[in-house]
Structure 1
């Protein structure tokens, strides 16, 4: 049996933002960066994608079901998919959450704890604003939150991330802090999808049992638990492309 994982970040209405340049992120932590627009999804496309999953009777997985699959040999429901949303951007709350709730779907939000704000900010389609803790809490009937570090989601000019260069002790402390806040502390997503074999080892030593990459493809029993695969749903993804991704995960 196999399953696939879909990865989303940001959402915009068609024509509601400039898709020709990266979107500046707005986070509580002192960190400046921009999100490539390829990681956005148009709202109408997302609606169509979720409608397809609903009409085709796909089951949206929980992290406990993933754990039971690997740890206890419990078979997954037929036509299963795991929906993941990275970084907790406001547009997930504004656009994706109501759709998922309407369909009775379950989803995962990988949270950078140090990026969340204490006070809700006005939505601005020209910036990628991370939601407040209050907004995140309001989504708990649909989303469970997992670990995306507390303050280590930072990219350096040499292509490394803060997670990779920090000491093992600091990594453990950072992951533990985020772990105290999120629902599932031992499930992780690599910042920017960047990692090396040494990072896998350090995660294992830090109490992380499952980690998701940005490498495309399906997950099977033999997939390393700290290198689980995810398919990025990119800007302008057609329905045919989307169907190809999700149907690939049903090849048992």
Structure 2
């Protein structure tokens, strides 16, 4: 028995993505992160992907079902798929939320708490702007919110590690605790930039994180380490059939 996890970040209409450079991310705190094109998905592709998941042999599951699979030994439906988004961009509310709600498909949003602003900005379909607190809260009937740090989603001075990795253990514990006060599932985490080491695994255990999601593709089984769960990046230009073929190539879940 196993499941797949899909990872999205930003949704865009065609013609709104720069061909020349990554999209600078605007957040409520200081941040020098830029989103590469590969981490976008076109709105029409996303809608067709959701139709494919809903109308074919795949079964979309919730994060609670994943937790129960590992903690309680409960079964999952065949061909189970978990949908996740990282960072809480406004496009998730503008595009993904209504598409998922219409189809009654649950999803999980990994939130960087201090990136959320106190007041919403006007939506600009060509900019990568993180939501306000009130915007995120509008989606609670579809999304489960999980931990993506409070303010440790940045590159260090060398550009080789994330600040999640370079923070002291005391700083990390305090940061995760702050995010935990906002999200629904504080002990479920996604690695900033997908980067981690064995040291980071040990520190997450110290922080009482039970499940962590990587950016490594592949199916998850009961034997998969709960702190190294696999996720499939849904890359820009990937249509519904291409996604289906990736899932099938990776092996149906039984």
Report how many aligned residue pairs link the two structures: 252
The alpha-carbon deviation at position 249 of structure 1 amounts to 5.2
Could you tell me how far apart the structure 2 residues matched to 1:165 and 1:125 are?
34
The residue number in structure 2 matching 1:224 is: 225
**8 Å Cα contact 2:39-2:235 kept in structure 1:** yes
Alpha-carbon distance in 2 for matches of 1:23, 1:108: 23
Query: Gapped runs of 5+ residues in structure 2?
Result: none
Residues 249, 82 of structure 1: alpha-carbon distance in 2 compared, 3 angstrom cutoff = farther
- What is aligned with 2:119? 119
Q: TM-score by structure 1 length?
A: 0.97
Contact 1:113–1:149 (Cα < 8 Å) also in 2: yes
Q: What is the Cα deviation at residue 244 of structure 1?
A: 2.0
C-alpha contact 1:41 1:233 (8 A) present in aligned 2: yes
Distance 2:17 2:212 in 1: 32
| Residue 99 (structure 2) aligns with | 99
CA contact (8 A) 1:5 1:83 kept: yes
Show the counterpart of 2:209. 208
Alignment-derived partner of residue 155 in structure 1 = 155
Q: Provide the secondary structure at the position in 2 that maps to 1:181.
A: coil
Could you list the per-position Cα deviations for residues 201-226 of structure 1 after superposition, in whole angstroms to 9, with x for gaps in the alignment? 11011110000000011101100010
Matches of 1:181 and 1:125, distance apart in 2: 27
Structure 1 residue ranges without an equivalent (≥5)? none
Tell me how far 1:181 sits from its aligned partner. 0.5
Query: TM-score, length-normalised on structure 2?
Result: 0.96
Deviation at 1:167, TM superposition (A): 0.9
2:243 maps to what in 1?
242
Partner of 1:33: 33
Any conservation in 1 of the 2:79–2:253 contact (CA below 8 Å)?
no
- Mapping 1:1-252, distance limit 5 Å: 1-56=1-56, 58-156=58-156, 157-247=158-248, 248=250, 250-252=252-254
TM-align CA RMSD: 1.2
Contact 2:112 2:149 in 1 (8 A): yes
Shift, 1:132, TM fit: 0.7
- How far apart, in 1, do the equivalents of 2:70 and 2:240 lie? 30
